[in-house]
Amino acid sequence: MTRYSLAEAQAKLPELIDRVRRGEGVVLTEGGAAVAEIKPANDAAARSPRPIDIAWLEQRLVGHADPNEDAGALLSRMRDEEAARF
C-alpha cells in the first residue's frame, strides 16, 4: 500500500482515487503515523490483478514453467527464487 501524508493526499486526491479504482489501497498519514486507509469499495475490484502484479508474474514465469510441476512446487520455487535475490 502506498502511503501519503494528509497534505500530499489533499494535493493529489484525483491521482489517489485513480489508484484506488485500479485496486490499490492508500494509507494516509499524519506525523508519520497512519490515520486512515482508502481502499476499493467493491471487493471484486480489490481482488482483480493489477498490471504490476501481472508484470511480476510474467517476469518470473515466462520460460520457467515446467508443465510437470504442480502448483505448490511452483509457488515454493518462486518464493525461494525471490528470497535468494535479497
Question: What is residue 69's three-state secondary structure?
Answer: coil
Domain ranges, ordered by start, for the chain? 2-46, 49-84
45 within 8 A of 20, measured Cβ to Cβ: no
Q: Produce one character per residue of 37-52: b if its CB has 16 or more CB atoms within 10 Å, e if not.
A: ebebeeeeeeeeeeee
pTM for the full predicted model: 0.48
CA distance 3 to 75: 29
26 within 8 A of 38, measured Cβ to Cβ: yes
Residue whose cell numbers read 494528509? 6
pLDDT in 10s for each residue of the chain, 86 residues: 889 999 999 999 999 998 888 888 899 999 999 999 998 886 655 567 778 788 887 777 766 667 788 888 888 888 888 888 77
> 2-46: what fold?
YefM-like fold (3.40.1620)
